[in-house]
Structure 1
Amino acid sequence: MRASILAGLFILTLLFSGYSTGHGIEGAHSEGYIIDVIVVDLECEENDTCVSRPSNIVEYFGADWCTECPEVEQILKDVPNESEIILSHRPSSSDDFWLPASRDRFLDVYGLWGYPTIALDGHYIFAGPTQSRELNSLLSESESNYSSITNVSLDNDTLILDGNFLNLSVDVWTVSSNDNLTNIATNHTNYSESNIVDLDGEKLIIVVSNPGYIALVSGSSMPANDYIPDGGLDNLGESDGPVKGSTIIIITILLLIITLPASYQLFQLMRFEDSTEEE
């Protein structure tokens, strides 16, 4: 299947219905949003359907050292539906399967700062195990009407996509699953730079997006308990490149939180000294 043509003509017509659309919640996205998602099964048999368009994309961001992540990973393994696709990321550079592209998506695309986090359809965020328990409830009510790609073909490791991708970003993720993780991203290809993809995996997940920051709204009514900060603070200074703006903002906020108690105590002490001098 990996040689020759994977999928000849691939055209899907979807009814526009469901809880939300693939083009975002009105007013929720300041810049970016997901337009289309296509899954290519690299292990399917010749007569099987090798290309599909999922109803939803569930992006999971976790870390090997994250003590709260295994519970969310089990939730993802137990998702009852089969029409959605799960894409697992390891943004932390200390992890075995970490990818720079996953870290960019974590920090710059979604502006996230902790683990475990789930992003549903580029619309909703579930932060921590408590909120993630409500994922299945929202999935049962939600179906994104994705559309953009009209044809997918794969000749050896050359991916050919048909559709209008003007001013859009097309990310191709090679994924594999193991005992703990569902569809962990092991390789990333920017389709605008190259259409040669890594076939050393179980699936290709193709995500077409309007580029830019994607604002997420909470998909849960519960507080974000058991949420472990990361924020891109590890390994700063390892490269000579410039620090990204989102990282600077996160560092500034964390420093303000850390120094606030001491600043308040200093202010109280100064007021006490002033009142003593007046007496």
Structure 2
Amino acid sequence: MSDNRRWVFFWTAIFLLLSTSLANTSSEGEADLDDGDIIAVQYIDYSCYQQSLDCEASESEHIVEYFAADWCEPCQLVEDNLATLNRTDTVILQHHASSEDYTYLNHSKFRYDDKFRLLFIPSLVIDGNGLLTGSSQALDLNQSLNTHIGLQNNSLSDVILKDGIIRWNNSAGQKLSIWRLDSTQHESRNFTHQYLATDSVIIDFSDSNISNTAGVNISGMLDGWSGRLIFILENSGSPQLQSYSDETAGNMEFNDDENEIPIPVKTPNPALYAVIWFVILLVLITPAIMLWVKEIKRPKQPIFEQE
């Protein structure tokens, strides 16, 4: 085999190795980005269910999940701001995830800890992607909704509630989370929470007993209900939230319930760094390798003794 053919074989092997490594790194990164995504959101108001035998849900471009507590003083500013939010493309889902509240909901606590891995209240999660922390950042809510693309909602359709049975069609997602919202009086203020989560049911599509055509009976969570139902088509796992504000996250409270889970920091994939450094080192030492190969292949010169 000639020297040229050896070098062609060598660089072809290196190219294939790098291509495989980069492909694996890219696929791992894409899988992480899809983790915990909210895909679509629809809602049904009690007035529709009361007046219609077949109540079909309406689509919402945005969902704002507001985590708060009645004992949280900065939350009062956020609630006053939300009360003036006049948007027909946005639904608000308020969670009381603190066990110190009379209106505490364990489903909201799970979403606070395990889904979004939050630490502070008030916190606003927008479309499962963006995060506003504290009353200062909460003032940027309307701007955040205007500047970020909402949910496409083309993966969830025909959400119909009839006689306590919910039916739907979906082309993506791993589960359908259903939240019951009710108007609830604040513990200490003369204020009413308009859309406070009071119950929840999760339909896991991996359950072989679940059928979207046969539907799921949710009549148990409709007793005494007079508010709104929100349907969230989503994936399991925890999304990587991005800050939607440049303001300092001030005026907030630490939710000191037990078993808090810290917010994960998104770090670059170490495998990608290894590949990059490998390429750099290979480029640096290639000239030395070529000189060494030429040197060992050079024919030895005979040494003649001088008379």
Q: How does the TM-score come out when normalised to structure 1?
A: 0.69
One of 214, 219, 227 as aligned partner of 1:202: 227
2:138 aligned with 1:126: no
Rg larger in structure: 2
Q: Which runs of 4+ in 1 moved over 4 A?
A: 47-50
Query: Any residues of structure 2 matched to 1:1-279 within 5 Å, and which?
Result: 29=33, 31-44=35-48, 45-46=51-52, 51-142=57-148, 143-164=150-171, 168-178=174-184, 179-192=191-204, 195-197=216-218, 198-199=221-222, 200-233=225-258, 247=260
Instruction: Deviation per CA, 1:220-267: give whole Å up to 9, x if none.
Output: 11000012111532xxxxxxxxx6xxx3658xxxxxxxxxxxxxxxxx
Q: Distance in 2 between matches of 1:93 and 1:39?
A: 27
% identical aligned pairs: 28
Moved more, 151-160 or 203-212: 151-160
Q: What is the deviation of 1:98?
A: 1.5
Moved more, 168-177 or 142-151: 142-151
Q: Distance in 2 between matches of 1:248 and 1:59?
A: 18
Cα pair 2:55 2:160 within 8 Å, conserved: no
Q: Distance in 2 between matches of 1:231 and 1:206?
A: 29
Cα pair 2:69 2:98 within 8 Å, conserved: yes
**5+ residue gaps, structure 1:** 1-25, 234-242, 251-279
Q: How does the TM-score come out when normalised to structure 2?
A: 0.63
Name the one with the larger helix percent: 2
Q: Distance in 2 between matches of 1:129 and 1:35?
A: 27
Q: Distance in 1 between matches of 2:53 and 2:82?
A: 29
Q: What is the deviation of 1:116?
A: 0.4
Q: Distance in 2 between matches of 1:28 and 1:201?
A: 39
Q: Distance in 1 between matches of 2:115 and 2:168?
A: 23
| Residue correspondences, number | 212
Cα pair 2:117 2:261 within 8 Å, conserved: no
Instruction: Deviation per CA, 1:103-156: give whole Å up to 9, x if none.
Output: 010011101011100000011111011000010111123332223222122222
Q: What is the deviation of 1:99?
A: 1.3
